[in-house]
Structure 1
Amino acid sequence: MSESLTRRGLAELFGTFWLVFGGCGSAIFAAKEIANTDDGVKLNIGIGYIGVALAFGLTVLTMVYAVGHISGGHFNPAVSLGAVVAGRMPAKDLLPYWVAQVIGGLLAGTALWGIAKGRPGFERVGDMAANGYGAHSPDGYSLASVLIAEILLTAFFLIVILGATDKRAPKGFAGIAIGFTLTLIHLISIPISNTSVNPARSTGVAFFNQAGAADQLWVFWLAPLVGAAIGAAAYVLLFTDEKLKVEV
Structure 2
Amino acid sequence: MAPSLWSRALAEFLGTFALLQASLGSLAWGEGPLVPALASGLAILVMVVALGGVSGAHFNPAVSLAFFLEGALKARELLTYWLAQLLGSLSASGMAAFLYPGVLAKGLPTSSDWGRGLAAEVLGAFFLVLVILMVVRARHPLAGVAIGLTVTLLVLALAPLSGGAFNPARWAGPALLLGDLGGALVYLLGPLLGGLLALAVSRALARGEAG
The answer to whether the 8 Å contact 1:49/1:187 transfers is yes
After TM superposition, the structure 1 stretch with the greater mean CA deviation from structure 2, 101-110 or 197-206, is 197-206
User: Which of 172, 190, 204 is the aligned partner of 1:203?
Assistant: 172
Q: What's 1:130 paired with? A: 108
Task: Give the 5 Å matches for 1:204-243.
Answer: 204-209=173-178, 213-240=180-207
> Cα offset for 1:241?
6.9
Query: In structure 2, what is the equivalent of residue 189 of structure 1?
Result: 158
1:69 matched to 2:53: yes
Output the CA distance in 2 between the equivalents of 1:198 and 1:61. Answer: 16
TM-score normalised to structure 1 length: 0.79
Q: Distance in 1 between matches of 2:177 and 2:30?
A: 18
Distance across 1 between alignment mates of 2:103 and 2:127: 32
Per-residue deviation, 1:31: 3.0
Paired with 1:54 and 1:124, the residues of 2 have a C-alpha distance of 17
The 3-state SS of whatever aligns with 2:33 is helix
Q: 1:13 touches 1:101 (CA, 8 Å); kept in 2?
A: yes
How much does 1:85 deviate?
2.0
- Name the % identity: 37
Q: CA deviation at 1:208?
A: 3.7
Residue 69 of structure 1: CA displacement?
Answer: 0.5
* Alpha-carbon shift at residue 219 of structure 1 (Å): 2.1
Counterparts of 2:100 and 2:94, CA distance in 1: 10
The letter for the 2-side match of 1:113 is: A
- Give, in whole Å, the separation in 2 of the partners of 1:222 and 1:24: 22
Q: Quote the Cα distance in structure 2 between the aligned partners of 1:233 and 1:20.
A: 28
Deviation at residue 220 of structure 1 after TM alignment? 0.6
Equivalent residue pairs, number:
209
Q: Please name the residue that 1:2 is paired with.
A: 2
Matches within 5 A, 1:103-114: 103-114=87-98
> Is the contact between residue 31 and residue 49 of structure 1 (CA under 8 Å) also seen in structure 2?
no
- The structure with the largest alpha-carbon Rg is 1
Q: Which runs of 5+ in 2 are unaligned?
A: none
1:22-33 mapped onto 2 (5 Å cutoff): 22-27=22-27, 29-32=28-31
The two structures, once aligned, show a CA RMSD in angstroms of: 1.8
Normalised to the residue count of structure 2, the TM-score between the two structures is 0.92
Task: Give the match for residue 88 of structure 1.
Answer: 72
Q: Which residue of 1 aligns with 2:99?
A: 115
Residue 67 of structure 1: CA displacement? 1.0
- CA distance in 2 between counterparts of 1:81 and 1:124 reads 29
Contact kept, 8 Å, 1:124 with 1:209, in 2: the verdict is: no
Asked if residue 177 in structure 1 is aligned to residue 146 in structure 2, the reply is: yes
Q: Tell me the residue number matched to 1:246.
A: none
The aligned runs of 1:48-63 (5 Å cut-off) are 48-63=32-47
Q: Which has the higher helix share?
A: 2
After superposition, give the CA deviation of every residue in 1:141-189 in whole Å (9 maximum; x if it has no partner).
x1110111111111111110011111x353x210000000000110011
